[in-house]
Structure 1
Amino acid sequence: MSGEAPMCEVDLGGGKVKENSMAGRCRQSCYERYIQPCVVELLGSALFIFIGCLSVIENSPNTGLLQPALAHGLALGLIIAILGNISGGHFNPAVSLAVTLIGGLNAMLLLPYWISQLVGGLIGAALAKAVSPEERFWNASGAAFATVQEQGQVSVALGAEIILTMLLALAVCMGAVNEKTKGPLAPFCIGFSVVVDILAGGGISGACMNPARAFGPAVMAGYWDFHWIYWVGPLLAGLLVGLLIRLLIGDEKTRLILKAR
């Protein structure tokens, strides 16, 4: 999804049939380049956040962070493996920002991707609420991030979100976007990075790493305490990863041009 959409040119001397055919191909191309990926990002985000929220709501005290970590990581890897070839499999505004900065996503699609991911987050969180027992839902704060309870935890939680999201964004950019380093195991490596992040940082910040994952449950539960951490931290991490990769490797378009020469 990194290139610009081709212009639709019509051969005026080719007759009405050829013009209609060109118009049809143009509509199909625009659909495949702009609408279809956004629909996939909405669907994938909804599925991922539905499973992630349920894993928190239904989590047994005996399993600690293991159940949410495995559910989030395995779900993300599976959904990327299924849908990633259509949209890139971001399902995360911070990841989309990093991928855009390195040239792996058309900048025109960044805002539509963000909207699709946030709407998907709302749908996923709403579905999780609909199927959960009311008592469990509210005991888990609707799977909203409630780890940070006081001002003294803010700096540590924000730092953790930045570092944890950087690992996730690096896994996506280097494992699935950069031509030199990407491979067929990228979906599982990305999912594994989420598992590692939650196991390592879940007790510090909740290990959100995804504004869409924070937004949907916050709306459903009406829980907004320190919510800004889960926007600023991941988006700042996406920005840092994008700039770092451009500095060290160059953006994807430039690298492909140099490779072709």
Structure 2
Amino acid sequence: MAGYEYSREEITIDARAHGWDIFKPDWDYLQSFPALSLCSLVGLSVGLSPWFTRPDWVFRCAKPYFDGKRDPDFDEAVTEQDSAKAEALGLFLKRIHIAVGNLAPAGSLNSISGIPQGEATFVNVAEFLAFAGRLGWELPEEFRRFDAEHDLNYSAHEAKTPLETNGKTTKTNQLHVLIWRVFLALKSKGGKPTAQDIWNEIRFRHSEHDVDNIIQEVTADVIEWRSCYGNESILNRGSFDKTLSNLKKNPPF
């Protein structure tokens, strides 16, 4: 069990100070981080602000509050929206148990430090999104966009491969190369291929274009792929249009 710097009472005081508006993450700020604690990531998967994702606090304080167990001297009356929030917190508790149970070496979620610490374990955001995608978890649109942001900003050792350009070796994201290759192939047949046209081509005929064999699986909602270095990642359909737009502005080759 991970140690905590703040008590449940302090978190409850903060929740009351914010009017129990605990489902309000700062998405723009959080997408800047390549790794977050597992409880923060699972919290974001249901739209919960990371500060309020301590599991025992959610179980003993937050969920009972939204279930209607309140102090009339301090808390407002129950509203119609509270049942949905209680349901989201129940989903958070289920998902955190699943996520912790899938930490390496038993599962596919790797600790950044190499030492798993339960829900306090820091995990790569892209890796968590790939994990959530494999389980079919529904995620807030704002969280799914993290995949596109990190996909456009991979470091040289993450899912990139050398590419010769005018005699110079550069680093290029392999999935971007594949997307661009498909775009050019469809464009050469005439017309202006849409993002959906390109997605369908990758989904149903990726073997005709995937010379690096990076594609693992493609559905209507997600592309799962593995780089030449063995790094697994996903690209969500909701992020695909933005990725294609950026590639048109800055082609990989």
Higher relative contact order (CA 8 A, sep 6+): 1
More strand by share: 2
Q: Which of these two proteins has the greater Rg computed from alpha carbons? A: 2
More helix by share: 1
* Alignment TM-score, normalising by the size of structure 2: 0.29
